Amino acid sequence: MNLNLTGHHLEITPAIRDYVVAKLDRVTRHFDHVIDVNVVMTVDKLRHKAEVNLHTRGKDIHVEAIEPDMYAAIDALVDKLDRQVVKHKEMRAQHRHEGAAIKREAAAAEPLPAVAPGRRQD
């Protein structure tokens, strides 16, 4: 997983970087197919905004959170991101199982031959 942290009107300190990395481990625990993560943190007066663009195989997920504290914004952001990643994972699993169910139904709908192949019918 490639992680890119960017700060607008904010210096990314090692403490903030470690906090974001620790929180994003929760997301990768649920879903292993994360390719790239871009985190942008912005400060506008008393408004702290955190945004994430998460690139997975087949989908890009964008989440943002605005709070009065940067650590609270990161917490809210990771909660939202976690919910969306779990939802995406469940949808992928559901689509995979639906395809198998359709194949099973099609096989069950085919009539069985009255005579085994290679045998003569008298």
Residue 16 has pLDDT above 80, yes or no: yes
pLDDT given at position 120: 66
**How much is the average pLDDT of 76-91?**
92
Residue 122 has pLDDT above 60, yes or no: no
Q: How many CB atoms lie within 10 A of CB 36?
A: 13
Angle at 32 between CA 29 and CA 38, to 5 degrees: 90
User: With bands split at pLDDT 50, 70 and 90, how would you rate the model's confidence at 115?
Assistant: low
CATH architecture of 2-107: 2-Layer Sandwich (3.30)
pLDDT given at position 21: 94
Give the global pTM.
0.75
Q: Any idea where the domains of the chain sit in the sequence?
A: 2-107
Structure token pair of residue 98: 């639906």
Tell me how far apart the terminal alpha carbons of the chain are, to the nearest angstrom.
67
